[in-house]
């Protein structure tokens, strides 16, 4: 997890896609910009989430990709942009909700389940849609 300088709390590395950029391309770019790491050759999709519009923003799509397991050498190579990120840390799955708001914590928890299951999941506002959802 990374700790932004521009707001309280913690996030997973990532950001907005640039105009004309694919979600995967944005993920690759953000790994370089935020962590100073060249992305692995394969970044498997773990999760796609639709966020409904509301008072805090226009909503949109969130994409979470699996960056793999980092070796000690890759961890030591992490370089954060000091104007954007204060620090990083590895957090146990059981502690995620202590670091982020509930909707973001659920996103990360679902992504971890998807990684273990071996297939991507689709969420709407932090939840798996039910079979009766419109």
For the chain, list the domains and their CATH numbers.
2-124 (3.90.79.10)
- How many Å separate Cα 33 from the centre of its chain? 14
Contact status, residue 114 vs residue 41, Cβ threshold 8 Å: no
- C-alpha span between 114 and 123 (Å, rounded): 11
- For 18, 20, 63, 103, the CA distances from 107, given in Å and listed in that order, are 22, 25, 10, 6
| Residues in CB range of 89: below 8 A, 6 or more apart | 1, 3
pLDDT in tens, 8-33: 999 999 999 999 999 999 999 999 99
Distance of CA 71 to the CA centre of its chain: 19
Summarised one tens digit per residue, pLDDT across range 57-102 is 899 999 999 999 999 999 999 999 999 999 999 999 999 999 999 9
**Pick from 111, 98, 97: nearest CA to 67:** 111
């Amino acid at each position: 997890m990374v700790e932004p300088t521009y707001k309280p709390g913690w996030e997973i590395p990532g950001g907005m896609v640039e105009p004309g950029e694919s979600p995967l391309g944005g993920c690759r770019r953000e790994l370089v910009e935020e962590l100073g790491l060249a992305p692995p050759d394969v970044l498997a999709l773990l999760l796609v989430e639709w966020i409904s519009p509301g008072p805090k923003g226009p909503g949109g799509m969130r994409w979470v990709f699996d960056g793999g397991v980092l070796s000690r050498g890759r961890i030591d190579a992490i370089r954060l942009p000091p104007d954007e990120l204060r620090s990083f840390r590895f957090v146990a799955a059981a502690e995620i909700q202590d670091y982020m708001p509930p909707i973001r914590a659920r996103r990360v928890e679902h992504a971890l389940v998807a990684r273990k299951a071996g297939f991507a999941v689709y969420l709407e506002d932090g939840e798996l849609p039910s079979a009766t959802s419109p």
